[in-house]
Chain A
Amino acid sequence: MKETAVSILENIRKGSLEMEDYVFKKLELIRKKDNIINAYISIDSEDFILDRINEIKRNIASGKKMKIPGLVVSIKDNISTNFLPTTAGSKILENYIPPYNATVVEKILEEGGIIIGKTNLDEFAMGSTTEFSAYGLTRNPWDITRVPGGSSGGSAASLAYGSCDLSLGSDTGGSVRLPASYTATVGLKPTYGTVSRYGLIPYANSLEQISPMARSVKDLALIWDVIKGYDEKDATSVNNNYKSDNKFKICIPKEFIEESEPPIKSTIYKLLEKIENEGVAIEYEGKFENLKYALPTYYTIAFAEAASNLARYDGKLYPISSEGLSYKEMSENTRRYYFGFEVKKRILMGVLALSEGFINDYYIAATKGRRIIRDEILNMTKNCIVASSVSPILPPKIGERIKDPLKLYAMDIYTVVANLAGVPALAMPAGFYNNLPIGIQFMAGPFEEEKLISLGSLVEEITGLYNLIAGD
């Protein structure tokens, strides 16, 4: 029986597992494997980790109740930490150490988690393959010639090769779900507003959520319980009761599966059959009328918000600043040389979408599109959980998708919908094809995370696909 975060936690609590040994084994693994995988941008020093372990031990001794004492957590490098640089995968934030912690980081520390390092991502989370990082691409531990998906590819890979127990990514349009499906891990994009964004370096504020990842749904439930909740530091944070019931019905709008590659389609249909055999009702006649608007709506809004969010990186207040005789020159040089091509392109598109002559046809049109998509999804998820592919394709080869923007963006077709509608969505392993992981997505109504977790637990019992570590 493989170790799960749940079982490790038990052993730590019983005292049968020595925290130092456990964490230093993880460090050892990172030293051995990460020069190839490149899941991490920065890693804690041993001294720092020892101090942290001692702190946790003191807390345990003093009787403090903690939810994840001693568990090893990796965190996407767009989530602010005051003890490790937070680069967002960009050269423009190289060496930037935030003077404050993100709310989720505070919560993980409070509950006894050991944050081992910061994981790689597409620059400012703009990408679907983790190839657009200024700190090198991340490889998929299941096949190092392939991408791990993105933009939280570093987090997914860090779990997939066993360097940590739990991870935090961020999901703007599929950024934890796509990597989860490519690495046989689990990712949950929570309901918009349920996890504080305070400290998350924004890409598209109205769409994204910090999102938990793990190697099983049961493990994921541990970290979800730590990070969720209202935070007065985030005005979009919501105070809500989570709905949970274990009566599921699954709906399948054809559009959500049909366009996927054949091995994906067949894997998902086969799995659904098994789920049905376990007594879950499945309705295959669903329809999603507005799917065709999902990608353009999503990208228009994401670009517009990104252009605005990234205006601040001009060299005046952050560590990187290019030379320049005037402010104009300095800011132009900083942005020219320290932003990557993809980021600059998206900023430019965002400026276009917001500019006087185009705002009605782009940005405003997209916000209207968002409403009709949201309403359709809310309606759809009222009575059932929507099952679909996560990605229409198997994990692509490195370099395969990034040359053509439309091919790259098309990878997100099934995932952006949950972000546009604000609803929770879970990605988890459905099977393998030629040793490549294939994922399935479940999307529920707002605040139905518990329901997704129950269903996910059932599904992982059925498939047996959990706690998988590449190369084991």
Chain B
Amino acid sequence: MSKKCDKDIINELLDLSRLNFTEEELEKLCKDIDEIRSLLNQVSSLSSLNVKPLYNVWDSELNPPYSVNIEKVNIYDLIPNERVAQNKIKIPWRGE
């Protein structure tokens, strides 16, 4: 795994996460990411470990409840008027 900040990877990550940084931030980001990766790389040796991944800490099995009471909400309390048209939520689009 490369140690130096890999611009291609960063750009792909930015794209996937819909994030952006200023030039100044990017510099700090690169430095931080390299450092953090050096920490995370310490788990990579466990990838070949022959144990089952642990996703739920108790390996729980869910028997879905027979009833759950979640009440409906009024979406218009959350959305400013100018973002509503004929009861639908207006979201900028133009094809992407």
Q: Enumerate chain A interface residues (CB-CB to B < 8 A).
A: 96, 99-100, 192-193, 206, 232-233, 235-236, 238, 292-293, 295-297, 299-300, 307, 311, 314, 316-319, 321, 324-332, 335-336, 339, 341, 344-345, 347-349, 351-353, 355, 360-362, 364-372, 374, 404-406, 409, 420-422, 446
Contact = CB atoms under 8 A, between A and B. Distances in A.
Contact of A362 (B40, B58, B91): B40
B54 A345 contact: no
Given A299-B40, A336-B20, A347-B17, A374 B78 contact: no
Interface string B14-58: 101111110001001100110111111111111101011111111
Contacts of A317: 78-79, 89
- Chain B interface extent, by class: 35 or more
B13 A238 contact: no
Contacts of A319: 78, 80
Interface of B: 1, 9-10, 12-14, 16-21, 25, 28-29, 32-33, 35-47, 49, 51-58, 60, 62, 64-65, 67-68, 70-71, 73-74, 77-80, 83, 89, 91-96
Contacts of A360: 47
A325 B92 contact: yes
B42 A99 contact: no
Contact of B43 (A341, A351, A365, A374): A365
Contacts of A421: 57
Given A232-B67, A349-B33, A371-B54, A99 B74 contact: yes
Chain A contact residues: over half helix, strand or loop, or mixed? helix
A303 B92 CA distance: 29
B40 A99 contact: no
Given A206-B57, A326-B92, A361 B51 contact: no
30 contacts: A100-B71, A100-B73, A232-B67, A236-B56, A238-B60, A293-B46, A311-B17, A317-B79, A318-B78, A321-B83, A324-B92, A325-B92, A326-B95, A336-B19, A344-B17, A344-B21, A349-B33, A349-B36, A351-B13, A355-B12, A355-B16, A361-B1, A361-B44, A362-B43, A368-B51, A368-B54, A369-B49, A371-B53, A374-B54, A374-B57
A224 to B, nearest CB: 20
Given A317-B78, A326-B96, A406 B20 contact: no
B43 to A, nearest CB: 4
Contact of A335 (B18, B42, B46, B65): B18
A326 B49 contact: no
Contact of A405 (B14, B16, B35, B96): B35
Contacts of B29: 341, 345, 348
B70 A233 contact: yes
A314 B18 contact: yes
Given A238-B58, A362-B43, 9 more contacts: A236-B60, A238-B60, A296-B42, A299-B36, A327-B92, A327-B93, A370-B54, A374-B54, A409-B36
A331 B46 CA distance: 36
Contacts of A235: 62, 64
Nearest to A404: B35
B90 to A, nearest CB: 10
A143 B9 CA distance: 43
A405 B32 contact: yes
Nearest to A372: B51
B12 to A, nearest CB: 8
A192 B19 contact: no
B76 to A, nearest CB: 10
Contacts of A409: 36, 39
A275 to B, nearest CB: 29
Q: Which 6 A-B pairs have the closest CB atoms?
A: A422-B57, A367-B53, A365-B47, A371-B54, A232-B65, A336-B20
Interface centre among A318, A331, A348 (most CB of B within 10 A): A348
A468 B65 CA distance: 43
B43 A369 contact: yes
Contacts of A307: 17
B33 A348 contact: yes
Nearest to B16: A351
Contacts of B21: 336, 341, 344
Nearest to A406: B35
B43 A348 contact: no
Given A99-B78, A299-B36, A307-B17, A232 B57 contact: no
Contact of A341 (B25, B39, B64): B25
Contacts of B52: 368, 371
